[in-house]
Amino acid sequence: MFHVAIAPVVPDVLLTPFSVQGRRESKGIAVPLHVHEEGMLVLVHEGLVVVQAGTEVWTVMPGSLGWIPPGVQHAARWFGEARGSFLYVRQDVCGRLPDICRSWPSSKLIEALIDRFTGAGAEAVPPAYQAQLFDVLLEELKHREHEPVLLPMPADPRLQDLAHTLLDTPDDTAGIDEWAQRLNMSSRTLMRRFRQETGVTLGQWRQQARLLRALELLCRGGSVTEAGLSVGYESTSAFIGSFRAAFGATPTRYLAGRG
């Protein structure tokens, strides 16, 4: 069951908080294409969020803060357990944030500030104090590097369905021929179309999807062995090797540097 607790946006209020929470669903929880007049900040607590805005697709990991400027049409899909804290940002102050979608690794200070804006008693924070805390949040973001984790998505509905399935069940062992049969196309056509629409082969895309789902598990406290095996790697060493090749560091070192 997907639960959204949201308060009506009040135009003269600097920040309007709301939260989302939902259990795992097949092929993720889909948020259809939409747009809002306010900017939106989201701190992802659990799950992997794939956001599409125009031709750009990127992922927001647990422990990351995402930003969507006002007026940007976007859709999203949330894989795994879904839990996040959201803030609508009043339109007239959005110019202090980037004019394109961004995401940053969180910090203890960012998490504390978001909790102050969205947690119990947030409505009692005086507007002047809220504005001061918002200034602190913006200053903290200046010292956090943008972390683009891109995963190109195909436009063809059948290939999108395949991509969502692979993200939802990264340990699926089906090969190219089996997937082609499921999609009622030849293996050659599947491989050609997938590469044309994403710029990478299906095998490369699948490996990146597996690594992102593994990274999600690592971010919420799972062990390296658990993360690797749960997304389909046959051994911990094979997973560590693929992770190092993709991210330039072992899982342990990557998480330490990200923190």
Instruction: Give the whole-number percent of the chain exceeding pLDDT 90.
Output: 47
Are residues 102 and 19 both part of a single domain? yes
User: Does 16 map to a domain?
Assistant: yes
Q: How far apart are CA 98 and CA 188, in angstroms?
A: 42
Contact 189, 156 (CB under 8 A): no
Are residues 185 and 225 both part of a single domain? yes
Mean residue pLDDT of the chain comes to 87
pLDDT band at 117 (very low <50, low <70, confident <90, very high): very high
CA 87 to the chain's CA centroid: 16
Are residues 190 and 108 both part of a single domain? no
**What is the token pair recorded at 112?**
């504390």
Low-confidence winner among 77-81, 129-133, 183-187 (lowest mean pLDDT): 77-81
pLDDT of 3 strictly over 70: no
When pLDDT is averaged across residues 7-28 and rounded to a whole number, the result is 75
User: Does 52 map to a domain?
Assistant: yes
Count Cβ atoms below 10 Å from residue 129 Cβ, excluding itself: 11
Are residues 240 and 122 both part of a single domain? no
pLDDT of 54 strictly over 80: no
Are residues 195 and 101 both part of a single domain? no
Query: Is the full-model pTM beyond 0.95?
Result: no
pLDDT of 249 strictly over 60: yes
For residue range 21-53, list pLDDT tens digits in order: 877 677 678 888 899 999 999 999 988 888 888
The DSSP bridge partners found for residue 172 are: none
Position 1 scores a pLDDT of: 47
Contact 129, 152 (CB under 8 A): no
Concatenating the DSSP letter of every residue in 148-198 gives: --B----SSHHHHHHHHHHHH-TT----HHHHHHHTTS-HHHHHHHHHHHH
pLDDT of 2 strictly over 70: no
Domain coverage including residue 222: 160-258
Are residues 8 and 135 both part of a single domain? yes
CA-closest candidate to residue 51, choices 126, 147, 149, 188: 149
Are residues 131 and 23 both part of a single domain? yes
User: Does 154 map to a domain?
Assistant: no
Q: Please give the tally of structural domains in the chain.
A: 2
User: Does 147 map to a domain?
Assistant: no
User: Does 69 map to a domain?
Assistant: yes
DSSP assignment letter at 143: T
Boundary of a domain, candidates 142, 174, 202:
142
When pLDDT is averaged across residues 113-135 and rounded to a whole number, the result is 91
Are residues 183 and 120 both part of a single domain? no
Are residues 16 and 116 both part of a single domain? yes
For residue range 157-199, list pLDDT tens digits in order: 999 889 989 988 888 888 899 999 999 999 999 999 999 999 9
Are residues 210 and 83 both part of a single domain? no
The CATH number assigned to the domain holding 214 equals: 1.10.10.60
Are residues 136 and 28 both part of a single domain? yes
The CATH number assigned to the domain holding 92 equals: 2.60.120.280
Are residues 91 and 120 both part of a single domain? yes
Contact 26, 88 (CB under 8 A): no
